[in-house]
Amino acid sequence: MKGNVFASLVSITNGLHRDNRSEREFNFLDSELKELPKADNAVFKVNFKRPLNSKKEYYFKLISNDTETELAALKSQFPKDATEPESKYNYTVQFNKFNKYLKDIATYIKKQSISNDLGNDADYIINYLKASAIRLYI
């Protein structure tokens, strides 16, 4: 997935529902993807059910990496010497971005009939995406 994982996984044109790669391809992709360290400004972490196949593991890492990158970038959005209007503007921009992620995920869940069944690949991935977006939002 290129670009932002929060937007691309729930995209109508190239979302998760269109990803038909084999388990072998996901195994290779997963082996190539390295998990980023946790952001030092994170207030809490999400404990989520461990992924049990290559597709889930690959998307778990992909979503985790994007989440940690977004969290680390938040620190730079709010410099200590910023004025109050600058901080309010930056807050509004970040709030709107994370709010859009959650709305897009909610729309995707409704359209694709995603359930809470974490045994299903798509359901697991979208639920982890949702939990990660909530973490960013908070």
H/E stretch holding 127 reads helix 121-137
DSSP 30-54: HHHPPPPPPPTT-S-----PPP-SH
Q: 133: which residues sit within 8 A by CB, 6+ positions away?
A: 6, 98, 101, 102, 105
Question: Hey, what are 72's tokens?
Answer: 């680390």
Q: What is the pLDDT along the chain (138 residues), one digit of tens a residue?
A: 556 899 899 988 788 989 999 999 999 999 999 998 888 877 777 889 999 999 999 999 999 999 999 998 888 888 889 899 999 999 999 999 999 999 999 999 999 999 999 999 999 999 999 999 999 888
DSSP-derived 3-state class of residue 14: coil
Q: Which residue has the tokens 């709107």?
A: 96
pLDDT attached to residue 78: 86
Q: 58: which residues sit within 8 A by CB, 6+ positions away?
A: 26, 29, 30, 33
pLDDT attached to residue 2: 55
